[in-house]
Amino acid sequence: MSESTTSLTPLPGGHSGRTFVADAAGERVVVRIYPPGDRRGAAAPEVDRSVLRLVRGLVPVPDVLEVRRGVTEEDVPGLLVTSFVPGERGDLAVQRLVDNGDTDGLTRLGRSLGDVAAALAGMPQLRPGPFVDAELRLGRFPADDLLEWAASRLRGWSDARLDALSDVCGPAQDLLDEVGRASLVHGDLNPKNVLVAPEGLEVTAVLDWEYAHAGHPWTDLGNLLRFERHPAYVAAVLDAWVAVRGGDPVGVLEGARAADLWALVDLASRAGENPVADRAETLLLAIAETADVHAWPFGR
């Protein structure tokens, strides 16, 4: 990073503690740190730069200003420096709108987010897989089937719970297989990872692309609708997505819930690490117990 960059201030809202606001040559920038031993390897900053360049002009993202590959042998972290984009964090906007009973605002925000998910779902990829280098070449996921994925990740679950979940995973995987194509996936597209204009509620930036990959076109939609269940918001997200990608909102919601099971399984396997993982485990348990991908154990 440039010598003119001064102090780093952690950005609130995440659990990784790796993203900071800094001043560089009198301008505010955002610095993402990639410690040695990052789960994605030394190429992670370059992969993220390539993804941001790929989506620029299709969805709003910050400008990439500087990239540095980490050097594990010298204990030097990698970094990605991007422009600072003003805006209100999406999850805070949702809470504000819910608290104020602003149904119209939730509808406008839902449409903005649905448009983003639809844009990404329209960016084709050759096959599912993680991005492994700056050329965005594809690796292989450890599992190709939801049942296999659940069995490998949820080792702490009892056989009875896994059997109950398998009754959901089988039909869900069948539904996902009907689509038969892969697209670009943000991988963590939820209100917390977007910035919006406080008044108009249009998306000003999509952030935190570390989980980006090639995957199912319904994946980001499922993430958007995982914990945000206000009817006006849900309907607006679905309407916006369907207006671009087609389909019936009821059927698309079923598919989105099915696609989100992959992420829920992974999160639930890490219960105890952070509040999101804990909440995901509670949701996945409810889905298994009720055999219903729409289960909601958290009340209104």
Domain with residue 62: its CATH number is 3.30.200.20
Counting Cα atoms < 13 Å in the Cβ hemisphere of 11 gives 24
Residues 167 and 36 in one domain: no
Owning domain of residue 34: 5-83
Task: Please tell me what DSSP assigns to residue 77.
Answer: P
Q: Are 95 and 198 spatial neighbours (Cβ–Cβ below 8 Å)?
A: no
Gap between the Cα atoms of 106 and 94, Å rounded: 7
CA-nearest of 259, 253, 207 to 233 is 253
Question: Is 159:274 a contact under the CB 8 Å cutoff?
Answer: no
DSSP 300: -
Q: What value does the mean pLDDT of the chain take?
A: 94
Q: Which class for 230: exposed (0-12), middle (13-18), buried (19 or more C-beta within 10 A)?
A: middle
Counts for the chain of helices (H) and strands (E), in that order: 9, 12
> Does residue 259 form part of some domain?
yes
Q: Do 49 and 131 fall into the same domain?
A: no
- Hey, how many other C-beta atoms are within 10 angstroms of the C-beta on 59? 21
Split into its structural domains, the chain has a count of 2
Dig out the tokens for 81 from the structure. 């420096």
User: Can you read off the two tokens belonging to residue 202?
Assistant: 């249009």
Lowest mean pLDDT among 37-46, 136-145, 150-159, 187-196: 37-46
Mean of pLDDT values over 27-40 = 90
Tell me if 297 is assigned to some domain.
no
Identify the band that residue 260 occupies on the pLDDT scale cut at 50, 70 and 90.
very high
Strand order in the sheet with 182-185: 124-125, 182-185, 213-215, 129-130
Confidence category of residue 38, pLDDT binned at 50, 70, 90: confident
